Amino acid sequence: MLGFSTSTKHEKKCNVTHGTMGHLDPKQPPVKRKPFAAILNHNFVQKASRTLSRRIIPATLEDLLTKVDSPVYSRVILPLQALLEGEFFNEYIKRGNVLMLSEGGMGSKNTFSLREGVLTLYLDKESYERAGIVGKPDVVQVELRLPAMLHGKKGFDRIVYAFKNVLSTPVTWLFCDLGTTALNPVPMDIHFPTKVTISPQIRSNIIVHEPLLQPPTQASLEYDGDFEDFAVDIHEWLSLISLGSPRIDPDDRIDPILSRYSSPGESTKRSKLVRITWRGFLAPSWVHNLFAQAVLTAPSSLWFALNVTGFSEGWSTRRKDCTILKLPEKEYVLWEVE
pLDDT at 32 over 70: yes
pLDDT single digits (tens) 274-311: 999 999 999 999 999 999 999 998 888 889 999 999 99
pLDDT at 79 over 90: yes
φ, ψ for residue 328 (rounded to 5)? -55, 145
Q: How confident is the model at residue 1 (pLDDT cuts 50, 70, 90)?
A: very low
Running DSSP on this structure, what letter comes out for residue 90? I
pLDDT single digits (tens) 89-120: 999 999 999 999 998 765 557 899 999 999 99
Count CA atoms within 13 Å of residue 1 on its CB side.
4
The per-residue b/e assignment along 288-315, b for 16 or more CB within 10 angstroms, e otherwise, is bbbbbbbbebbeeeebbbbbbbbbebbb
Q: Which of 63-72, 228-237, 293-302 has the highest mean pLDDT?
A: 228-237
> Which pLDDT score is estimated for 205?
85
> Which pLDDT score is estimated for 46?
96
Enter the pTM of the model: 0.90
Sign of CA dihedral 132, 135, 139, 140: negative
> Which pLDDT score is estimated for 331?
94
Q: Concatenated DSSP letters for 188-239?
A: GGGG--EEEEPPPEEEEEEEEE-----PPPTTSTTHHHHHHHHHHHHHHHHH
Lowest mean pLDDT among 66-70, 154-158, 159-163, 203-207: 66-70
Contact call for residues 303 and 328 (beta carbons, < 8 A)? yes
Cα-based distances in Å from 193 to 25, 104, 117, 155: 37, 19, 21, 30
pLDDT at 137 over 50: yes
Beta-bridge mates of residue 323: 307, 335
What gap in Å lies between CA 302 and CA 330, rounded to an integer?
Answer: 10
